[in-house]
Structure 1
Amino acid sequence: MKYGYIRPIVSDQQCTHQLKELFIDTLFIETHGLARKRTELEHLLMTVQKNDELFIQNIVVLADSQQQLLDILRLAERDQITIHFVDEQITNQTIQKASLLQSATFFANLQSKFLSQSSTFTLQAAKQQGKSIGRPRKSDDNLQLAFEMYDSKIYTLYDIKEATGISKSTLYRYLDDRSTSLYDEKE
């Protein structure tokens, strides 16, 4: 049997480009791109049998980490299942035949793809729940005090940081924003 598995990924959040040109007997579709609760993947792994083939658009669709990929590859080897990774143009058998340098390079690149996938969908889920994303803004009172101290030319950046808790780089970023908005008002 030929099985397919698709799920939302950063480059294809609607799953419209995955496995389009392949004939698949049964397609398992995950509804979310998060690492947790991948019920369709679990169902798929319980369904496949010896000599079945599994088609995945790319490795990031199948696994969220190198450890998860390793676990799935071990399962596939034990059950004698061939996994085809379409974008990478490899199978679980060809991965095993690569040189150490090729493998190290491949897995280093893969790690950054895993991180991108995970952080993108985690941030999207947090935004949907109304959670604030990113570093909180400094209070307006602290910022105003930092501006006054800076403009007075009496205080060092260290003095400003000690008094307001605003670091040099943060202060300069706010000063750039302030000068940009003053420039915009003059036009």
Structure 2
Amino acid sequence: MKYGYIRPIVKDQQCTDQLNNISIEKLYKETHGLAKKRKELENLLMILQKGDDLFVQNIETLADSLQQLLDILRLAERDQIIIHFIDEQITNQTIHEASLLQGAKFFARLQSTFLSHSSTFTLQVAKQQGKSIGRPRKSDENLERAFAMYESKNYTLYDIKEATGISKSTLYRYLDSRSTFMSDEEN
């Protein structure tokens, strides 16, 4: 039997560009792009049988990490299932035929894709929940103290960091944004 699996991914969050023009008998669609609670994937993996074909748009659709991909590939090998990765134009059987160098390059790109996918959907959920994203801003009092110490030219950057907890790169970033703000006010 020919199965398909789709879910929201970074490049196709509405699942409109996945498995188009692919003839499948049963489609499983995940409602979210998060790594956890992928019930449709779990259901699909439970019913796949020897000789079945599974079509996914790309590896990112099927797995969220190299470990998860490895687990699914092992399952497919054990159950004699062929997984077709459309974008990569490979199957789980042709992956085994690649050279070590090709495999290393492929999996390095894949790891980057997994991180991007995970970060994008986690940040979207956090924003929807009203959570603050990014590093917390340094207190204005602490920043003013660091600015005064820096402008006095009596302190080293190390002294400023020890007194205020503001690192060199953070201090410079705030000084740059402060000077941009000051020049905007003058205009």
Same fold (TM over 0.5): yes
Q: Quote the offset at 1:148 in angstroms.
A: 1.5
> How far apart, CA to CA, are the structure 2 residues paired with 1:109 and 1:7?
20
The answer to whether 1:21 aligns with 2:24 is no
Q: Which amino acid aligns with 1:67?
A: Q
Deviations 1:62-82 (A, max 9, x none): 011111111111111111111
Q: What is the aligned partner in structure 2 of residue 130 from structure 1?
A: 130
> How far apart, CA to CA, are the structure 2 residues paired with 1:161 and 1:77?
55
> How far apart, CA to CA, are the structure 2 residues paired with 1:159 and 1:100?
50
Helix, strand or coil at the partner of 1:83: strand
Helix, strand or coil at the partner of 2:14: coil
Helix, strand or coil at the partner of 2:19: coil
Helix, strand or coil at the partner of 2:27: strand
> How far apart, CA to CA, are the structure 2 residues paired with 1:143 and 1:167?
11
Q: What is the aligned partner in structure 2 of residue 96 from structure 1?
A: 96
The answer to whether 1:146 aligns with 2:146 is yes
For residues 64-83 of structure 1, the aligned pairs below 5 Å read: 64-83=64-83
Helix, strand or coil at the partner of 1:138: coil
Q: What is the aligned partner in structure 2 of residue 11 from structure 1?
A: 11
Task: Select between 33-42 and 156-165 the one with higher mean Cα deviation.
Answer: 156-165
Q: What is the aligned partner in structure 2 of residue 54 from structure 1?
A: 54
Q: What is the aligned partner in structure 2 of residue 162 from structure 1?
A: 162
> How far apart, CA to CA, are the structure 1 residues paired with 2:163 and 2:85?
56
> How far apart, CA to CA, are the structure 2 residues paired with 1:171 and 1:102?
43
Deviations 1:144-180 (A, max 9, x none): 1111122222222222212211111111100000000
Q: Which amino acid aligns with 1:152?
A: S
Q: What is the aligned partner in structure 2 of residue 40 from structure 1?
A: 40
Task: Select between 168-177 and 99-108 the one with higher mean Cα deviation.
Answer: 99-108
Q: Quote the offset at 1:15 in angstroms.
A: 0.9
Q: Which amino acid aligns with 1:100?
A: L
- Report the TM-score, using the length of structure 1 for normalisation: 0.96
Helix, strand or coil at the partner of 1:28: strand
> How far apart, CA to CA, are the structure 2 residues paired with 1:80 and 1:29?
23
Q: What is the aligned partner in structure 2 of residue 30 from structure 1?
A: 30
Q: What is the aligned partner in structure 2 of residue 183 from structure 1?
A: 183
Instruction: Give structure 1 stretches of 5+ with no counterpart.
Output: none
Q: Quote the offset at 1:85 in angstroms.
A: 0.1
Q: What is the aligned partner in structure 1 of residue 106 from structure 2?
A: 106
- Report the TM-score, using the length of structure 2 for normalisation: 0.96
